[in-house]
Structure 1
Amino acid sequence: MNQEEVYDAIVVGTGISGGWAAKELCENGLKTLVLERGRMVEHIKDYPTMNMDAWDFPYKNELSAEDRKKYHKQLRVNWAPKDDVKHFFVNDLEHPYIETKRFDWIRGYHVGGRSLTWGRQSYRWSDIDFEANKKDGHGVDWPVRYQDIAPWYDKVEEYIGVSGENLGLKQLPDGKFQPPMDLICGEYDLKKTMAEKYDDGRLLTIGRVAHITDKQAQVEGRNPCQYRNRCWRGCPFGGYFSSNSSTLPAAERTGNMTLRPNSIVHEVVYDETSKKATGVRVIDTETHEKLEFKAKVIFLCASAMASVGILLKSTSDRFPNGMGNDSGMLGKNIMDHHYKLGATAKIDGYLDKYYKGRRPNGFYIPRWVNMDEKTKRDYLRGFGYQGSASREDWSASIKEMSYGKNLKDSVLKPGNWQIGVTGFGEFLPYDDNKVTLSTTEKDQWGLPQLDFDVEFKENEYKMREDIIREVMDMFAKAGFKDVQPYDESTGPGLGIHEMGGARMGHNPNTSVTNKNNQVHKVPNVYMTDGAFMSSSSCVNPSLTYMAFTVRAANHAAKQLKAGKFS
């Protein structure tokens, strides 16, 4: 590649945000270089396990003892990586980081990033979220409100395909939805109980999920969800949204995108004279060659912690502590969501009922606490639940003596119904929850490792207690049996919703990015992954990343065409 060529834009990262940045910039006519630190993954071609079954793997889809060592931190999430999807998660031995305090950093280094393995839950923020910091004094005020982002939510939802139902809730704005997926036995019972026995605004709905469900929908290169629930392997039908099936092909169709995998961006280059960024420095992972690529606009979409790390490493006489770090806030206010706590229960009856397909979704219970005096708690902000019901796996009741006729009979008789939920609660921003660069430990490329010093605090622990208390009460009122709470050992990060580190705000003295996602003091550098988040809400953040990315990319295109970055 010609290192003297000046691109209109460089996008760092190809995940949820990077794919959208590439699409919007290219469709605006910008010649765009897209850099990905991991290997190439082409839609369909590079989904090697998409049609395999458990018996096609040597250990029935479990990792070997050797692989468990390689993925020892990625395994903290429990449900992955399995043998069918380990290639979409990083090898922890090859990509280490430091935990001054426990931080569960779940990553995927390849084209498409975690857009191939995300949970696809897609919820809008409301003004309750955007105004929370200002009202209770935690963090800095968001410089935007819902009305600023609503049209961009519309555009994203209509393009990616989000199924769900509109509810008219002030805390969970309605959207542009495709037909909702169905609830099933037990879930209807819980929904009915909540409507009859609570008067505090709580309700149950099907999850809003980025899957095409409208069979008449015309989406280029994608088809409706097939209910296989093998999404994390890569969907050959394109039923769920990913960068690989959707935004990157759209960018490629313009003829304006140059995609370069195996390219670790470690620094944004700053020009003291123009007071702008001029490009990025890269290490080629295959040749170890050091390269520099030039552009008029830079979009950092490498994932929240990686993008923060890039800015921390981008030092100069003007920015000795990291690019744009005049406020001292770069790397601070790291957040995530609560995860791995909730309850399970058994459901009597419905033994004559089953379900069709493998629904890649569950139900959702939106936040209702701390909405008014009736729902006020002794902690700030709120939480929601995600869960599902199912019939028990037949193997749970099979013992060594059950071979032969008993085994065959058991295979044909599903177990009883059960239900489970997990709470997702808001994590407040704290200045002392931070990520820094190690002064002693480096990775295989000679770059300083990230050092995490992040923890839950009193507000989070009080919320966790309430999350369990409330679901136990709901399950009991629904008449479910053997209600069991769970609160597994976890650290921040395991929700895989890491946010913050380059927060958005009005004032450059207290924040890193402005209302348009630009670094305050380097306006041709945009950050649109989770790094810019000034608070965390309690809903899955990916839809919000996408909406902000589309908004920022169109802002950047207008600025560039107006000659602001020349």
Structure 2
Amino acid sequence: MANFNIDAKQNMTYDAIVIGSGISGGWAAKELCENGLKTLVLERGRLVEHVKDYPTMNLDPWDMELRGGISPELQKKHYKGGRSGFIGETNEHFHANDLENPYTEVKPFMWVRAHQMGGRSILWGKQCYRWSDLDFEANAKDGHGVDWPIRYKDIEPWYTYVEKFAGISGESLGLSHLPDSHFLPAMELNCVEKHVKGRLEKEYPGRHLIIGRVAHLTEPLNGRGKCQYRNRCDRGCPYGAYFSSNAVTLPAANATGNLTIRPFSIVQSIIYDEEKGKAIGVRIIDAETNEVMEYFARIIFCNASALSSTQILLNSTSGRFPNGLGNDSGELGHNLMDHTYRIGAMGVVDGFEDQYFKGRRPNGIYIPRYVNLDEKTRSDKFVRGFGFQGGGGRSGWGAGANLENFGGDFKDSLMKPGPWEFFITGFAECLPYHDNKVYLNKDVLDKWGQPTLSIDCEWKENEKALNKQIREDAKEMLERVGLKDIVDFDNQHEPGYGIHEMGTARMGRDPKTSVLNGTNQVHACKNVFVTDGACMTSSSCVNPSLTYMALTARAAHHAVTELKKFNL
């Protein structure tokens, strides 16, 4: 990769080290580099250059041997992550090898990982919603978990900051519990979605159906092209239309001349100096040579993804921290959360046979949370709430794939679109439970001889009650807006399927009950910052990545300020 500095010499000292190059790691690199810090980004996997390393970005199904399916050989390589249904011939090269990177499911948990420059920012769903004080105050009000050390006012300007650079398209609603972002023009609902919206909002005053708020450009921004409605996002976007580290933050960091990226760098541990009372560097294993190396810096940002960052902290032991760096509270590894997923309903919409839609819009609809907002909407069945995602469309020629029909009439029928269909699926908030946890497993080692994670996590009664309500509400709403042939469903997936794993190194006000403070610093080692999903104190019911971006930018600016004051 000629345009990036990858000349990271052994034992070199930097101003900052960032572990991981995904959504939050890219933001950390950008902000630290733009503030003048010589920054080393350590990436566990290979380099992925924007556009150059997107081999399937322009392939049609007939260009691929398995039409996008995955071979039995590759299924073995992805024997865990493949359960998600998200891995195929088009994107397999962006997913981690489960054989080389095992983990133990004490209870079923699907952990989807992406070990390369850009991480899962190449693969994510790009739905972006701000949190509100309904979320930041929830733990304090209902007594689950510990209180967040921040409120919406603390992060609001940082939401705006990252949104203006990342590019979020959507429409404003003016809801206090789902604050509006700094928006690019919204994508358009199709005719059936507009129809359902009108009926739904009439039948249920106070409920809303909107186009998803999404990190796709609907107009050019900072040299990036707008979305072409190809819906091939998880192959890498040659236009840079959706937000990824590869297309957006890492090039910005590189433009400063302050960035060094070291690929194939498996972080074994963070080095803690007992005399100085702070971290001084990072110890890595070269994934290609197995050589152990050390790099040094004044500050360290952990952005390896929620569970991977916690795995590194747990493995970073010393006389001061025998149970993992920053683990004075004993909470490191605990309070794992995800969103419940794939519960909802679908049905057929009559009419609109003379209408269709243009392109393959990489976005759907969103129905914001409407329960437990206030006393009027309070439920006595559960705490917290849920929202819905989904959309409408018409079945095409693919509907004939499993039919036994043949002949000219059958072929002609495939050219005629089928009926309009509409579906919604819920995302519910998971509470932070101490016994939903991860811990090091020294009996199961990875390819490089390092301890792996055991994951012990399950949905509990509150999540099950939320899921029951999601299913009932989804069916009822589709019935009342006039759909027919309605099928409600609950696929009863284990945690992990939402791919929104959060917690395990939570922020908090009290060092006795949390790992990080209000600016994402390890309480007892303040030059170590954790700003990926591990830092989350609760999970809300909306997609979390926009909040990771804002927290990372905020923490990076705090780190720079503290460095200038010689406090770190």
**Smaller-chain TM-score bracket:** over 0.9
CA contact (8 A) 1:190 1:474 kept: no
Provide the residue aligned with 1:210 in structure 2: 215
- Per-residue CA deviations over 1:503-534 (Å, capped at 9, x if unaligned) read 00011000000000000000000000000000
Provide the residue aligned with 1:66 in structure 2: 73
State the distance in 2 between where 1:109 and 1:312 align: 20
Aligned counterpart for 1:124 among listed residues 127, 130, 133: 130
Q: How does 1:9-408 map to 2 (within 5 A)?
A: 9-78=16-85, 80-199=86-205, 201-214=206-219, 217-220=220-223, 222-377=224-379, 378-397=381-400, 402-408=405-411
Give the counterpart letter for 1:259 in structure 2. Answer: I
**Alpha carbons of structure 1 residues 330 and 182: separation in structure 2 relative to 1, 3 Å:** same
State the distance in 2 between where 1:187 and 1:171 align: 23
Mapped pair 1:433 → 2:440: no
Provide the residue aligned with 2:5 in structure 1: none
State the distance in 1 between where 2:65 and 2:186 align: 37
Q: Secondary structure in 2 aligned to 1:228?
A: coil
State the distance in 2 between where 1:543 and 1:198 align: 29
> Structure 1 residue 397: deviation in Å?
4.0
Give the counterpart letter for 1:66 in structure 2. Answer: E
Provide the residue aligned with 1:461 in structure 2: 464
Give the counterpart letter for 1:326 in structure 2. Answer: D
**Alpha carbons of structure 1 residues 398 and 311: separation in structure 2 relative to 1, 3 Å:** closer
State the distance in 1 between where 2:548 and 2:473 align: 30
CA contact (8 A) 1:20 1:247 kept: yes
> Structure 1 residue 491: deviation in Å?
1.0
> Structure 1 residue 82: deviation in Å?
0.8
**Alpha carbons of structure 1 residues 454 and 400: separation in structure 2 relative to 1, 3 Å:** closer
Give the counterpart letter for 2:233 in structure 1. Answer: C
State the distance in 1 between where 2:215 and 2:522 align: 30
Give the counterpart letter for 1:205 in structure 2. Answer: I
Give the counterpart letter for 2:129 in structure 1. Answer: Y
Q: Secondary structure in 2 aligned to 1:186?
A: helix
Provide the residue aligned with 1:522 in structure 2: 525
Provide the residue aligned with 2:4 in structure 1: none
- Please tell me the root mean square deviation across aligned C-alpha atoms, in Å: 1.1
Mapped pair 1:470 → 2:473: yes
Q: Secondary structure in 2 aligned to 1:210?
A: coil
State the distance in 2 between where 1:45 and 1:362 align: 29
Q: How does 1:407-556 map to 2 (within 5 A)?
A: 407-556=410-559
**Alpha carbons of structure 1 residues 367 and 401: separation in structure 2 relative to 1, 3 Å:** closer
CA contact (8 A) 2:30 2:252 kept: yes
Q: Secondary structure in 1 aligned to 2:323?
A: coil
CA contact (8 A) 2:25 2:303 kept: yes
> Structure 1 residue 61: deviation in Å?
1.0
Deviates more, 1:407-416 or 1:480-489: 407-416
CA contact (8 A) 2:203 2:481 kept: no
Give the counterpart letter for 2:313 in structure 1. Answer: L
**Unaligned residue ranges in structure 2 (runs of 5+):** 1-7
> Structure 1 residue 411: deviation in Å?
3.1
Provide the residue aligned with 2:3 in structure 1: none
TM value normalised by structure 2? 0.97
Q: Secondary structure in 2 aligned to 1:123?
A: coil
Give the counterpart letter for 2:383 in structure 1. Answer: L
State the distance in 2 between where 1:127 and 1:432 align: 26
Q: Could you tell me the percent identity over the aligned residues?
A: 57
State the distance in 2 between where 1:399 and 1:119 align: 28
> Structure 1 residue 241: deviation in Å?
0.6
State the distance in 2 between where 1:189 and 1:362 align: 15
TM value normalised by structure 1? 0.97
CA contact (8 A) 1:13 1:34 kept: yes
**Alpha carbons of structure 1 residues 552 and 399: separation in structure 2 relative to 1, 3 Å:** closer
> Structure 1 residue 400: deviation in Å?
5.6
State the distance in 2 between where 1:137 and 1:556 align: 31
Q: Secondary structure in 2 aligned to 1:321?
A: coil
- Per-residue CA deviations over 1:11-51 (Å, capped at 9, x if unaligned) read 00000000000000000000000000011100000000000
State the distance in 2 between where 1:436 and 1:399 align: 44
- Per-residue CA deviations over 1:67-97 (Å, capped at 9, x if unaligned) read 122212112211x101010001112122110
> Structure 1 residue 358: deviation in Å?
0.5
State the distance in 2 between where 1:50 and 1:453 align: 37
State the distance in 1 between where 2:449 and 2:79 align: 23
CA contact (8 A) 1:11 1:298 kept: yes
**Unaligned residue ranges in structure 1 (runs of 5+):** none
CA contact (8 A) 2:429 2:541 kept: yes
State the distance in 1 between where 2:269 and 2:203 align: 56
Q: Secondary structure in 2 aligned to 1:302?
A: coil
Deviates more, 1:384-393 or 1:59-68: 59-68
Give the counterpart letter for 2:243 in structure 1. Answer: F
**Alpha carbons of structure 1 residues 516 and 394: separation in structure 2 relative to 1, 3 Å:** same
Q: Secondary structure in 1 aligned to 2:191?
A: coil
Q: How many residues align?
A: 560
**Alpha carbons of structure 1 residues 474 and 435: separation in structure 2 relative to 1, 3 Å:** same
CA contact (8 A) 2:77 2:99 kept: yes
Mapped pair 1:563 → 2:566: yes
State the distance in 2 between where 1:338 and 1:398 align: 31
Q: Secondary structure in 2 aligned to 1:22?
A: helix
CA contact (8 A) 2:400 2:414 kept: no
